[in-house]
Structure 1
Amino acid sequence: MSIPVPSIRRREGVDASGWDDSVPEVLRRVYASRGIVSAQDGELRLARLLAPDLMGGMQKAAELLARAIRDQVRIVVVGDFDCDGATGTAVAVRGLRLLGAENVAYRVPHRVEHGYGLSPALVADMASMAPDLVLTVDSGIACVAGVAAARARGWQVVVSDHHLPGPVLPDADAIVDPNLDGDAFPSKALAGVGVVFYLLLAIRRVLREGGAPAAATADLSRLLDLVAVGTVADLVPLDYNNRVLVAAGLQRIRRGECQPGVTALAAVAGRALSTLCASDIGFAIAPRLNAAGRLEDMAVGIECLLTDDPVEAGRLAEALDAINAERRELQQQMVDQAEALLEALPIPEGGLPPIVCLHDPGWHPGVVGLVASKVKERLHRPVLAFAPAEPGSDRLRGSARSIAGFHVRDALAEVDATCPGLIERFGGHAMAAGLSLAAGNLEALVEALEAVAARRLDPASLAREILSDGPLDGRDFSRALAEQLRLAGPWGQAFPEPVFDNEFELLDWRTVGERHLKLRVLVEGRREPLSAIHFGGCTGQPPPQRLRMAYQLDLDDFRGRRDIQLLVRHIEPA
C-alpha cells in the first residue's frame, strides 16, 4: 500500500521582540510561533486560572456536595477506565476527604461487564454500596439511562464531565460540563480531571462561607500532580488554562511533592522526578495507568494513586508495569494484523478512502484505540478500529482517532442522526471517540462514515506535513538548550514540542532492534558528530548521504552519560 510521504514545512516567522534577552533566541522563536509573544503571556501562574463560577451548573453542584459533606452522607465517585478517569477519581476522593467528607468510596466500571460510565448494569452492581449521592467523573453526560436508574433508587446524581453532550441530557441533580451548549466557561479544553478539580475549588468556597473547619485549611494544590497527569494523558488541547494546571503539577512533581503512586510510577518507568516533563507523563506514566483499564481493572491504577503508603504504591506500580508490558505485546500483535488488513484492502483508483475502518474478530476491545492511533499516524487519515465487545459477542466496540480538520465525534453524530439505530452508543471529542454497535451494522456504518468524510474532509488536510521551527545553528546543539527546551513547556496537544530541521552529512548508520535507525551525522557549524535515533525508521535501505531531517533536540542520559541526541521525525534527501 502506498503511504503518504510527509513534507517539512517551516512555521512562519513571528515577531518575538517582546521577550527579554535572558530567554534564548531559539526559545523566543518557538514561543512566539505558538502565540506567546512576551514574557507576560508566558507566565503560568495559578492566580491567573479561570474562575470556577464561570462554569454553568457549578454553584448547584457545589452546594449539593457541600451539603453531603456537612451531613456526612454516603458519596460514591464513579470514574472511567482511562488515565483521565483514574486521576479524576483519585482527585475527587482525595479532595472530598480533604474537605471533610468521611464517607467517600469509588467505583469504576469494567470495560466488558458494565460498558462505559454510569450504566444501568453498574448501578445495579452498586446497590450494595447504598450511596446517597453519586458523583461522576470524566463521564456521565451521555449516561442518560444510568442516571435515570440511579435516581430511581433515590440516589442524588452530580455529573462532572468534559465530553460533548448528545441531543438528550441526563436527568441529573446537577451537571458540570464546560462543553454544554451555551456554557460561558471560556476554556472548553479541560480534561475530566480538570473539571472535577474545579468542582472541588467551588465546594471549598461554599464550605468556607458556611464556616466548615476542614475547608478552611484544605490545600487542594496538593492534587495538582494528578491533574497534570490526567490532563496530559487525555490529549486535550493545552490552552493557557490547561498549561497553568499542568505546569503547577509538574513543579510539584519535580520538587517531590507528589502522591506516592506518581513517584512509584515514575520509578518503574525509569524517569527522574527532578526533570520530569509532560512527555514523560504521556509516554511513561499514562500508559501504565491506562493499561489497567484496557486489560484488567482500573481499580488497580486508582488504588496506586490513592495510597499514602510508598511501599504499597511501589507494589501497585510494579503490577501496573507488568500489565503494561502485556499490553505492549498485545498491541504490537494487533498493529501487525492491522497492517496485514491494510495490505489486503482494495484501493480505488483515487487512492486511499478518506476514512479507514478496520475490524478483526480476535482483537481486544481495550486496545483498539491504540491500533487506530498507530494506523492514523501511518496513513494520516481518520481511522476506526473495531473488536468484539467480548469473545464471541455479536456486538462491536470501536475506537476512532482523527486528524486536524475532521471532528470525528461530530461525524458519528451526523451518522446517528441520518441513520438512527445504526450506532448503539457513541461519545468523545474532535480527535478521539468511542462507539458500540451490532456486528451486522458494521458494513453500513463504514459506508455512512465514508460518505460523511467525503463531504467534511478538505483534501488539503490529508497532506502529511511536519511543522518545523526552522534550523538550529551549530552552536545551538548544546546540553543547555536541550535542558531548557525540555522544561520550557509544558508541551502537548495544540502546544507542540519544538521540532527543527537542518541538512546533515551522514557519517554512519545501523539498525537497532528490527525497526529503529541509529545514525551519526555532522551539521554545518559544529565539529563534533551528533547522535540521532529514528524510531520505526528502518526501511531496509541506507539513508541518503546528504539528508534533511526534522528532529527534536533531546537529552541522552543513557547509562549515566550526559549528552544530547536528535529524535528524528522525518528523513528526506537534501
Structure 2
Amino acid sequence: MSVLQLRRRESRGAPHGWPDAVHPVLQWIYAARGVLEPGQAEHRLARMLSPQLLGGMAQAVDLLAEAIRDDWSILVAGDYDCDGATGTAVAVRGLRLLGARRVDYAIPNRFVHGYGLSAAFVASMQPAPQLIVTVDNGVASVAGVAAAKARGIKVIVTDHHLPGGQLPACDAMVNPNLPGDPFPSKMLAGVGVMFYLLLALRAKLREQGAFGAAKPDLSSLLDLVALGTVADLVPLDFNNRVLVEAGLQRMRSGRACAGIAALVEAGRRSVATLCASDLGFSIGPRLNAAGRLEDMRLGVECLLTDDVAQARHLAGQLDAINRERRELQASMVAEAEVMVAGLGHVDAVGVALYEPSWHAGVVGLVASKLKERLHRPVIAFAPASEDDTENLRGSCRSIPGFHIRDALAAVDARQPGLIERFGGHAMAAGLSLRTADYPRFAAAFDAVARELIEPERLQAVLYTDGELPPGAATLALARQLREAGPWGQAFPEPLFDNLFECAGWKPMGESHLRLQLCDPRDGAVHDAVMFNAYHGQPPPSRLRAAYELTINDWQGRETPRLLLRHIEPA
C-alpha cells in the first residue's frame, strides 16, 4: 500500500451562470479552484491588470524614454534560466520595437559571475553601457548596482524575487513584491514584469507622439511571456492565466517567433493543440538546459532570431544539450537516492545533500526529484565550479507550507556569515556557502525545518477532483479539459480518482505500463497508460487510480485515454 494519501479538493462555492455547452464536470473543477462564473474564466487581454498599478513604473519609464530619445547604449542583463532567457528576449525585442537603436544583452556565466547583477558581471561589461536594465534579477544585487554606479552606468532593476534586508541603490526598480507595492498580483514572473514595463513605456512614448498614428504591436511578445511564466512555476492566478492563454493562442495560430516554433518542433509537440504543460515539460527544459550546462546566450539567440533555418539549427543544439542534461540528471539522482537509501531512513526534516562530483547546474533538478520522493524540503549542493571546490552552490526545493527563502533567512539571522548569499521564492531558492561550512549549515537548516514544519505536512498528499461519473470519460470532455486552462502552478490540471478492475495490461517499453481498466459501475473499459511504473510486477487486479483524462492522438485518430498518476490496491 502506498504511503501517498489521496485527498479530494473541496468546492469553494457553487458554480452558476455557465452555458449548457460547458460540461458539468468542468464547472465543478472550476469551482474547486475558485472560478464560479464564466467571467472568471474569460482570459481576455482587456482584463489584464493595468501597468500603472506597478510601483516604480513612472521612474523606470521616464528613464527608458530618455534613453531612447537620446540614443543611449542599453544593455539588458538577463538570467540563465527560462524566465530570464525569455525576459531578455522580450526586453531586446520590445525595446527595439519601441525605437531603441543600441540595445544589446548579456547573460552571466553561473560559474564565473555567480547569480544576477554581480560586481564581477558588471566588470565584464566592456565597453560600459549607459544604461543597464535587469530582467528577472537585481533586487538583491547591492554590490553589483554599486559597481555599475561607480562606472557611471544608470540601472533599472526589473525583478519579481523577494527583497532582502537592503535594496540596491538603483535609479528605478519595478518589482511587485517590494513591501507596500500596490500591484494586486504578486505572482508575475520576471518576463511578465518586463512585459508590463514595455506596455507602460509604449503608453508614455505614444503620449509624446513618438509613433505618429502607428502603435507598435507588443502582443507579438506574448508567446515568450507565456513560455517564461509557465517555465518559472509561478502561480497561475487570473492575471497570469490571461498572459499565458494569450501566448498559447498566438502559438496555436502559427504566429510564434521562429525560436519557439523550432523548439516545439524539436520537442515533437503539435502546435495546433499546444497547452501549458507542453511549455513546462518540453519547451522550457530545452531552454533551461543551455543555462545549466552551457551558455544561455544560445537560448536567447534562438528566441531572438527571425530566421527559420537558424532557429531550427539553434533548437537542435538546445535539444542535444537537453539530452546530455537528462543523462547527467539521471546519474546524479541515482547517486542521491543511494545516499538516502544508505541512511536506512531519513532523520532530517530539512534534507541537505552534497556530492563533490555533482554539477552545479543540475542540483536543482536533483533537489526537486528528492523532494518529491521524500516529501520534505531538500537542498542539493555541488562545487561552485570545476576550479572552485572551496565553495558550494546549493539549490532548494520545498513542500507546501514551508517558505524556503524565509527558512534560509532564519538560518542567516541565527548564524550570520554562514550563508554567503541567498535568494528565491517560497518553493524554490538558491544559496552559496563555503564547503567547510556545509555540515554546520545542514544541521542549522534541519533545525529550522523541524521548528517550522508540522509532522503531518511530511505526509505526501495528492489532491484530486473526486470521481469521474460513469460515462463521463468521453473525447468531448477531454477536449474541453485540454482547452479550458491554462492549467499549471496553483491552478492544477484536473485529476480524478476512481476504483477500477484491471481487465488487462502489458509493459510498454522498458518501464511503462499500458492497461485496460474496467469501471465496475457500468462495465466500461478505458485505455490507460502509466509512465515509469513498471518494475517487473503486475498491477493490482483491483485498484484505485488517480488520473488525468487526456487525448491519445494515434495516426490522426483521437480517442480518450486515462493518464495514471498514482495507483494503489483497492
TM-score band by shorter chain is over 0.9
Q: Which residue of 2 aligns with 1:249?
A: 247
Alignment of 1:75-94 (within 5 A): 75-94=74-93
- 2:385 is the alignment partner of 1:390: yes
Closer, same or farther in 2 for the Cα pair 1:59/1:490, shift >3 Å? Answer: same
Alignment partners' CA distance in 1, 2:308 and 2:438: 47
Give a deviation string over 1:508-543, Cα, whole Å, max 9, x none: 223334433322211135555322222222344322
**Counterpart contact for 2:395–2:431, Cα < 8 Å:** yes
1:91 and 1:441 mapped to 2: Cα distance?
A: 40
**Structure 2: distance between partners of 1:547 and 1:414:** 44
Residue matched to 2:497 = 501
Alignment of 1:237-386 (within 5 A): 237-345=235-343, 347=345, 352-386=347-381
TM-score (norm 2): 0.97
Q: Distance in 2 between matches of 1:425 and 1:215?
A: 49
Take 1:536 and 1:408, find their aligned partners in 2: how far apart are those partners?
29
Contact persistence 2:290–2:298 (CA under 8 A): yes
Partner residue in 2 for 1:233: 231
**1:18-57 mapped onto 2 (5 Å cutoff):** 18-57=17-56
1:552 aligns with 2:548: yes
Mark the CA change 1:432 to 1:528 in structure 2 (over 3 Å): closer, same or farther. Answer: same
Distance, in Å, in 2 between the alignment partners of 1:471 and 1:96 is 50
1:444 Cα deviation after fit: 0.8
Counterpart amino acid of 1:571? Answer: I
Instruction: Tell me, yes or no, if structure 1 residue 124 matches structure 2 residue 135.
Output: no
Residues 115-146 of structure 1, C-alpha deviations (whole Å, 9 max, x = no match) = 11111111111123x31000000001111111
Please list the CA deviations of residues 89-121 of structure 1 after superposition, one character each: whole Å capped at 9, or x if unmatched.
000000000100110000001111111111111
1:438: how far off? Answer: 0.4
Does structure 2 conserve the Cα–Cα contact (< 8 Å) formed by 1:204 and 1:215?
A: no
1:141-165: CA deviation from partner (whole Å, max 9, x where unpaired): 1111111111111100000000000
Equivalent position of 2:437 in the other structure: 441
Secondary structure at the counterpart of residue 317 of structure 1 = helix
Kindly report the root-mean-square deviation, in angstroms, between the aligned alpha carbons of the 2 structures: 1.5
CA shift digits 1:410-433 (9 cap, x unpaired): 000111111111011110000000
Structure 2 residue matching 1:313: 3-state secondary structure = helix
* Selected match of 1:133 from 108, 131, 134: 131
Superposition deviation, residue 439 in structure 1? 0.5
Post-superposition shift, 1:72? 1.0
Matched ranges for 1:105-116 at <5 A: 105-116=104-115
Question: Offset at 1:262?
Answer: 0.8
SS of the counterpart of 1:386?
Answer: strand
Deviations 1:378-433 (A, max 9, x none): 11111110000112521100100001100000000111111111011110000000
* Aligned residue identity for 1:508: G
Aligned equivalents of 1:417, 1:570: Cα separation in 2: 41
- More displaced, 12-21 or 109-118? 12-21
Query: How many residues were matched structurally?
Result: 568
1:322 Cα deviation after fit: 0.6
SS at match of 1:474: coil
Residues 548 and 572, structure 1, Cα contact 8 Å, conserved in 2:
yes
The residue type paired with residue 50 of structure 1 is L
Q: Where in structure 1 are there 5+ consecutive unaligned residues?
A: none
Distance 1:6 1:352, change over 3 A: farther
CA contact (8 A) 2:350 2:447 kept: no
For the pair 1:517 / 2:516, whether they are aligned, the reply is no
Q: 1:480 aligns with which of 473, 476, 479?
A: 476
Structure 1, 552-561 or 191-200: larger mean CA deviation = 552-561
